Amino acid sequence: MERLKSLCPLKGHSGIVWNIAWHPKGQILASCGEDKTIRLWNYKDGDKSVLKCLLADGHQRTIRAISWSPCGQNLASASFDATIAIWDNKSGQFECNATLEGHENEVKSVAWSRSGSLLATCSRDKSVWVWEVWEDNEYECAAVLNAHSQDVKKVVWHPFDDILASASYDNNVKLYSEDPSDKEWTCIGTLSSHSSTVWSLAFDKTGNRIVTSSDDKTLKIWQKYLPGNAEGILVKDEKFVYKCVCTISGYHTRPIYDVSWCHLSDLIATACGDNSIRIFKEDELSDHNQPTFSCIVHMNNAHLQDINSIQWNPIIEGILASCSDDGLVKIWKVNSI
Amino acid sequence: MGLDNENPTLFIKIKDREITETDYDDNDVEEIDSREIFDLIKGITDPEHPLSLEELRVVDQSLIEVDDLNNIVKVLFTPTIPHCSMATLIGLSIKVRLLWCLPSRFKISVSITPGTHASEHAINKQLDDKERVAAALENTHLSTVLHNCIATA
């Protein structure tokens, strides 16, 4: 049996806190929200986490999402003001040294590829943009992808390949990659099964599985199949397909706004509109073509309002961060009892 | 530009809530009920006519469900005509009024009375998307229109 212990709540934001992101080294947590600020918190075990710095004046409206570059030198922020800001601390303190424009309206999500040479953004304008990252804060748009028919909520990169996934209000997830022959980015797959908005998704550490979370109150697990697979799953004209192999339903009572798949422990954590955090673990004898998962933690009233985001610490196993409409950022420790 | 519904049917307003002795007792905790929710939204002005949502019977106490213990408020509203282009705006004004007035513990759902609008599913989905509602409220033009509708409530 596991349980969650809350470390000291991080207070400071006014209004909704929309997103959090752990620095790749696991010692800093960034948060952003309705108050148009980004806050960087120094993580310390116990009740000692403190505000390290506050980044303001980068955006005119709500900051919806943030993402650290894999090297940990840059932080990208996506805002309802239709821009993406890039912050770095080359001068000794964090400053906004580039602003990316092009989306027609609210930018909903931003993500760096594993190599750090690509940045993806998505917007209510239904498009997904891929940006090439050059030296000296130069960013060049490499692709505008219009595969979705509605508002795009989230972009996430594969853990080591340059494969991009996006989740949308149109209930689908799309996958993209660059065609090596003509360097064109194209949609290479659609994950279709949810019956409402897909709010978020996460890859497992192998990249062979994806978990998606939706307004339809379910999680779905998708397994990758290559051509000629032993299971006889048809892979038509493509290099691979992701097929839904498990639907986790009956646990969440409201929309699931975020999901995080820990690459250290393989545990899945969810952020839900019912104020709860839940943690799922794959069962020991689970068949990988028909896996089963059990809920090992249900933290009722983890926050006083909707939980918008959740993320496992990438370095320190069993440490989880969450943020909520209640204005708080919380850090949690998973304890076995 | 013509009006969506040029000649809407008018309905009679209900009487004010009767004040009882317990209303003056600070120690008497009363749960939030459907009448209280109705009183919060009945005076919202229709975006097209200088009439209240109550007079147009867009909102009705019988279509409000409250579960105070479980922090749930569900409001159904009925557009005056099935192709009303103002339906999203009306729904948003009800939602915003309740978001601003009720304690933050409440989960508020505002949706169209089933079968009363041609695009009810799409409108319900939009009203239910907290991210889009948050973005709409930051839109200066839209928030002015909303403030004007809510000012009379």
State how far the alpha carbon of B109 is from the alpha carbons of A111, A314, A336, B14, B112, in Å. 32, 36, 37, 24, 10
CA A148 to CA A129: how far, in whole Å? 12
Cβ separation A254–B107 shorter than 8 A: yes
B-contacting residues in A 112-171 (Cβ below 8 Å)? 124, 151, 153, 169
| Exposure class string for B64-90: b at 16+ Cβ within 10 A, else e | bebeeeebebbbbbbbbeeebebbbbb
Chain A positions touching B107 (Cβ under 8 A) are 254, 273-274
Q: What is the mean pLDDT of residues A2-20?
A: 94
Give residue ranges of B with CB < 8 Å to any A CB: 104-105, 107, 125, 128-132, 134-135, 138
pLDDT higher at B4 or A316: A316
Handedness of CA B102, A215, A317, A30 (dihedral sign): negative
What's the token pair of residue A329?
A: 């950022």
Could you tell me what percentage of chain B is helix, strand and coil, using 3-state DSSP and rounding each to the nearest 5? 40, 10, 50
Q: Express as a percent the part of chain A with pLDDT over 90.
A: 92
CA A202 to CA A69: how far, in whole Å? 17
Residue B138: closest C-alpha in chain A:
A61
Cβ separation B138–A80 shorter than 8 A: yes
Beta bridge pairs of residue A227:
none
Does residue B1 have a pLDDT over 60?
no
Please write the tens of the pLDDT for every residue from A29-72. Answer: 999 999 999 999 999 887 788 899 999 999 999 999 999 999 99
CA A77 to CA A325: how far, in whole Å? 19
pTM of the complete model: 0.95
**Ramachandran area for residue A180 (φ above 0: left; ψ -120 to 50: alpha; else beta):** alpha
Q: What is the mean pLDDT of residues A149-169?
A: 98
**The pairing of beta strand A268-272 with beta strand A84-88:** unpaired
Position A95, amino acid: E
Chain A positions touching B135 (Cβ under 8 A) are 62, 80, 106, 124
**The pairing of beta strand A17-22 with beta strand A2-6:** unpaired
Please give, rounded to a whole number of angstroms, the shortest distance from the CA of A273 to a CA of chain B: 9
Of A80, A151, A305, the CB nearest to B104: A305
Mean pLDDT of chain B: 93
CA A159 to CA B121: how far, in whole Å? 36
Please write the tens of the pLDDT for every residue from B15-71. Answer: 888 888 878 888 888 889 999 999 999 999 999 899 999 999 999 999 999 999 999
Cβ separation B125–A64 shorter than 8 A: no
Please give, rounded to a whole number of angstroms, the shortest distance from the CA of B79 to a CA of chain A: 24
Cβ separation A197–B105 shorter than 8 A: no
Does residue A100 have a pLDDT over 70?
yes
Cβ separation B131–A64 shorter than 8 A: yes
Please give, rounded to a whole number of angstroms, the shortest distance from the CA of B105 to a CA of chain A: 6
State the SS3 of A208-260.
CEEEEEECCCCEEEEEEECCCCCCCCCCCCCCCEEEEEEEECCCCCCCEEEEE
**The pairing of beta strand A74-79 with beta strand A84-88:** antiparallel
Cβ separation B138–A306 shorter than 8 A: no
What's the token pair of residue B65?
A: 């469900």
ipTM of predicted complex:
0.94
